[in-house]
Structure 1
Amino acid sequence: MDIEHARHRPSASVSSVVKGDLPTADHPMTADEEALYALGYKQEFKREFSLWTTFCVSFAVLGLLPSFASTLYYGMGYAGTAGMVWGWIVAMLFIQCVAMSMAELCSSMPTSGGLYYAAAVLAPEGYGPFAAWITGWSNWIVQVTAAPSVDYSMAAMILALGSMSNPEYIPTQYQTFLLSVFIMILHGVISSMPTLWIARFNSVGTIINIIALVAVIIIIPADTTRRNPRFNPSGSVWGDISNMTDYPSGIAVLMSFISVIWTMSGYDSPFHLAEECSNANIASPRAIVLTSGIGGVMGWFLQLVVAYTVIDINAVLESDLGQPFAAYCLQVLPYKTSVAVTALTIVCAFSMGQGCMVAASRVSYAYARDDCFPLSKYWKRVHPLTKTPVNAVWFNCVIGILLLFLIFAGDIAIGAIFSVGAIAAFVAFTIPIFIRVFFVGDRFRRGPWHLGKWSKPIGWAACGFVALMVPILCLPQSTGENLNAENMNWTCLVYGGPMLAVTIWWFVDAKNWFNGPKINIEHKMLGAKGNIVEGINIGPEQQNSEEDILGKDK
């Protein structure tokens, strides 16, 4: 067998979810197209994303500056400055483990279905459809809540600018809702454009995000109005845990991780863009790890800047502006500078929200392609002119607008979409990693990007961290007599309710017709009992030669 041809075959020594031979295409296939055919899908998108532009989308979805601004209440409000700086370091170590384990799966199975596809293929026999069902719906929940949460925060910052110029103006819920809906519609329009246009838009947006983030990190300490002392002492920043919860300080620090987890939840985007990326089984996993790594380091610097300059945490959290980051800027910067920093954050938030909309549409398209949603035949259509899943874009946009009605239920209710996004992402990210580490083990055939001997330990660390954090993220800030409907953590209801519904749906009906990823080109993956490609057995020597070639690609 031609080894050059084999190197582009799927890299997963697990049982296939379908049977049949790989058909012969009516045109010469590229390496990416051949790999996708082997995974069971035909090429429908144009591969106009590169490593850089894929990284741009994921970094835009990460949106460090607007994400930090959106979740400042949780990072600072649960455990103060010590929770911010220590919490970010500890959480990022484990989040990087999750990202690297995900990247390894992406290299093996570079398809838009991403984690959902991986869960179906890796699960023990008979459990693939259920694993895909739970993973898919959890991942869709985080995707569909991402854009409205970002756009809500962006609308709040825009209105906060009005309050900064006119202290008598207090934004209303109605105004915040209408502005958020308008931004959602704009993002829907942009996300419906051709792939190349979207790639260029996100490239520009990412460059702006990086420049703005570096600028803010420099501007705040350089132009702060703090005097005597100019910065908070290191002993206070690193050692004083301002516990604002009813739990022990250690639990308060863990609760503050929601800021890190939600901010860093966009690194899965390259997985979902794999079918639009060239050299996907190498470029996409690299984009995942780059996004998480670079984002983690730069985010920590931003945490340090705020922790060393904040004057009054309570005043920031309780400001009438309704946006803690805007209140913080006014507290530590001259008026004009604070307006400029807030405006930069708004520009970055617009790019982030659009990136979230693109990533969500690709996830919805992939799941609709497998008939996971009601009326899937409409959501899986690819527009003949733009070659993008336009219907899936507007499907998510409408649901996002409906979620924005939580604004009228109060700050705690709308805030639930942040913690829901964190939990839903973690659950979806970890199910296939857990299956790969504890069930598949050494039968997993890695792709050209892999972790080698560190694969299992890193996977164990990722799974352990998620198992700890899921219940922590559901805890309310107050307990006992202080707990009421207004300050209750509604994450369990907003996430648990839909997940309970889809689980019941599975056992009542979906198990009878949902068989996991629906393959539109029958294929035969490398089997667990032998490395079979197109009916030809690969011997140990030939297999090693193939792995040597794959290793060189990395």
Structure 2
Amino acid sequence: MSDEKHQISSSSSFDTSNADDMELVALGYKPSFKREFTNLATISFAFSIMGLCSSIATTFNTPLLLGGPSSVVWCWILGACMCFTLGSSIAEIVSAYPTCGGLYTASAQLVPKTYRARVGWLVGWLNILGQIAGISSTEFGLANMILAAANIGTDGKFQITQGKTVGLFAGLIILHGILNSLATRHLARLTKGFVFVNLGTTFVIIVVLLAKTARSDMHPANYVFGTAGIVNETGGWNTGIAFLFGLLSVQWTMTDYDATAHISEEVRRAAYAAPSAIFIAVIGTGIFGWLLNIVLVLCSGPLENLPGSSGSAFLEILFLRAGKTGSLIIWTFVCLTAFFVVQTALHAASRTVYAFSRDHGLPDGGYFGKNSKSTQTPLRAIALTTAVSILPGLLDLASPIAANAIFSLTAMALDLSYIIPIFCRRVFAKHPDVMFKPGPFYMGDGWMGFLCNVNCIVWTLFICVIFSLPTVMPVTPENMNYASVITVGVIALAFAWYVLGAHKFYVGPQSNLHDGSVEVVTQDSASDNEKKTLA
């Protein structure tokens, strides 16, 4: 499609004066969304998808209890620096292909025609399944966070059961499905405030912990940054591997970078705003996350008292320093941040499902690739994404091991779907079938861009190895890490499906410019104030 996009643009039967929509038409798609997301809303969306304090809260146990306090601190800054190269590489591609298909659409444009359908198919399924697993696992974590607060609030009288957790999880998913059914203008207004709650809560936690911890109760520098803070509670791995398990928290937090790309057809000046938001969010999350981790370790108290009765070391540290009332008030906002993560994640995933269906990547005849006439949003795709996201959580009632195996798919599937288009962009850069037209966010073809791309590919492959290791020895069916098994299984099943029948209806991203059933949305003219803001 990429080599024909200029001919498509010039021969289309409709015209638009909106620069964003002109670019979208050049990529082969009709403008079907209202562009209501401003710069602030887009940046807030990018920050919210990472959910700084809530993501650290749900993953803090792993680095602290397996590798120790020093693992928490040093693995975060190491992982954040590496994630910066991945985020920059993704932003570069998003700027060139600002469509709601994101890296899925881009991957099919960055390879020769011979491989276009197969690469698009693989990246599309990895990305969709990674996003859905991410929604389920984050929502399941939020349900556990809320119930942990109930346990502490009642001094342990409230008993957390599997049924209560799954029931709350399902109710929250349905609520997010309803909220995501709002029109784009309402979603944009709602999203604007997310970043202030996210960063504000992180700042409050840092200040409260430092203010409420006596100097004599703070750990020494060698415990936070040095060898005194290195432990090995893995039961069998060497200390080096135990230390590297600290990377799991930062990699879990700083993923789903491309979520902002999936709303790019709803963003004003998308080729500028979407990649810039990714870039800013990665830097901000990396820096503020490091500060938060340092303060948490500094004020954590005796390691043997963690994670405590709630099961959350993060919450126990808040309880130790701020008391029951103070910790629960702060925890409310941490839970709210996790709520925002799922809200933005479901928004992004539904747009990916919409884009994949629009390209006939689903065996639905494009049914889920249509927008509602009333809201001008993909209500069908939202409903499908919501329903499918509930299934892994419900599976927990039958087999918690199977549910956790699906949850573990998230980071590995998403990260692999990111590096495939980055790899293809470099390998096929000079192929006559491939035409990479750089967007406004461009690192260039010099050594900086090349090293950034190579670094993030090598790092992601390394992290996939870490993600594949069981964190506790000896390995049992209960503590086995099924991430690699599930991810490889997804790849194998996706290609088997493609060979056996999907190749008949999916030939790669397809233009819908001549599809009469798709309505064109005309953008409203921005006000003078909006134009100044966007400029």
Correspondent of 1:176 among 159, 165, 175: 165
The answer to whether the Cα contact below 8 Å between 1:148 and 1:403 also exists between their aligned partners in 2 is: yes
For residues 314 and 505 of structure 1, do their structure 2 counterparts lie closer, same or farther at Cα, with a shift above 3 Å needed?
farther
Q: Distance in 1 between matches of 2:339 and 2:140?
A: 11
SS in 1 for 2:67: helix
For residues 21 and 178 of structure 1, do their structure 2 counterparts lie closer, same or farther at Cα, with a shift above 3 Å needed?
closer
Q: Distance in 1 between matches of 2:376 and 2:463?
A: 39
Correspondent of 2:240 among 246, 250, 266: 250
Does residue 160 of structure 1 match 2:152?
no
Correspondent of 2:211 among 212, 222, 246: 222
Distance apart, 1:498 and its partner CA: 2.7
Does residue 459 of structure 1 match 2:453?
yes
Please name the residue that 2:355 is paired with.
366
Distance apart, 1:350 and its partner CA: 1.5
For residues 159 and 384 of structure 1, do their structure 2 counterparts lie closer, same or farther at Cα, with a shift above 3 Å needed?
same
Q: Distance in 1 between matches of 2:54 and 2:145?
A: 10
Correspondent of 1:66 among 24, 30, 54: 54
Distance apart, 1:463 and its partner CA: 0.6
Please name the residue that 1:106 is paired with.
94
Distance apart, 1:134 and its partner CA: 0.9
Distance apart, 1:195 and its partner CA: 0.2
Does residue 288 of structure 1 match 2:275?
no
Please name the residue that 1:133 is paired with.
121
The answer to whether the Cα contact below 8 Å between 2:76 and 2:290 also exists between their aligned partners in 1 is: yes
For residues 416 and 78 of structure 1, do their structure 2 counterparts lie closer, same or farther at Cα, with a shift above 3 Å needed?
farther
Please name the residue that 1:237 is paired with.
224
Please name the residue that 1:492 is paired with.
484
Could you give the per-residue CA deviations for residues 187-227 of structure 1, whole angstroms, max 9, x where no partner exists? 00000100010011111222222211211121122123xx5
Please name the residue that 1:392 is paired with.
381
**TM-score, normalization by structure 1:** 0.87
Q: Distance in 2 between matches of 1:350 and 1:338?
A: 18
Please name the residue that 1:342 is paired with.
331
For residues 21 and 53 of structure 1, do their structure 2 counterparts lie closer, same or farther at Cα, with a shift above 3 Å needed?
closer
Correspondent of 1:447 among 435, 439, 443: 439
Q: How does 1:468-479 map to 2 (within 5 A)?
A: 468-479=462-473
Q: Distance in 2 between matches of 1:340 and 1:376?
A: 49
The answer to whether the Cα contact below 8 Å between 2:5 and 2:27 also exists between their aligned partners in 1 is: no
| Paired amino acid for 1:47 | R
Point out the more displaced range, 161-170 or 322-331.
322-331
Does residue 119 of structure 1 match 2:119?
no
Q: Distance in 2 between matches of 1:149 and 1:18?
A: 42
Q: Distance in 1 between matches of 2:470 and 2:24?
A: 44
Could you give the per-residue CA deviations for residues 401-421 of structure 1, whole angstroms, max 9, x where no partner exists? 111024336766544455321
Could you give the per-residue CA deviations for residues 416-439 of structure 1, whole angstroms, max 9, x where no partner exists? 455321101110111000111233
Point out the more displaced range, 412-421 or 380-389.
412-421
Does residue 316 of structure 1 match 2:306?
yes
The answer to whether the Cα contact below 8 Å between 1:115 and 1:432 also exists between their aligned partners in 2 is: yes
Please name the residue that 1:205 is paired with.
194
Could you give the per-residue CA deviations for residues 287-333 of structure 1, whole angstroms, max 9, x where no partner exists? 1101111111111111111111112445423x332434323322343
SS in 2 for 1:440: coil
Provide structure 2 residue ranges, at least 5 long, that are not aligned to the other structure: 515-533
The answer to whether the Cα contact below 8 Å between 1:383 and 1:390 also exists between their aligned partners in 2 is: yes
Please name the residue that 2:414 is paired with.
425
Does residue 380 of structure 1 match 2:369?
yes
Does residue 145 of structure 1 match 2:133?
yes
SS in 2 for 1:447: coil
The answer to whether the Cα contact below 8 Å between 2:8 and 2:25 also exists between their aligned partners in 1 is: no
| Paired amino acid for 2:48 | A
For residues 21 and 350 of structure 1, do their structure 2 counterparts lie closer, same or farther at Cα, with a shift above 3 Å needed?
closer
Please name the residue that 1:532 is paired with.
none
SS in 1 for 2:441: coil
Q: Distance in 2 between matches of 1:391 and 1:68?
A: 33
Q: Distance in 1 between matches of 2:513 and 2:503?
A: 22
SS in 1 for 2:158: coil
Q: Distance in 2 between matches of 1:422 and 1:184?
A: 20
Distance apart, 1:391 and its partner CA: 1.1
Identity, % of aligned positions: 30
Correspondent of 1:298 among 280, 284, 288: 288
Correspondent of 2:71 among 83, 88, 93: 83
SS in 2 for 1:229: helix
For residues 24 and 514 of structure 1, do their structure 2 counterparts lie closer, same or farther at Cα, with a shift above 3 Å needed?
closer
| Paired amino acid for 1:29 | S
SS in 1 for 2:255: coil
Correspondent of 1:278 among 268, 287, 294: 268
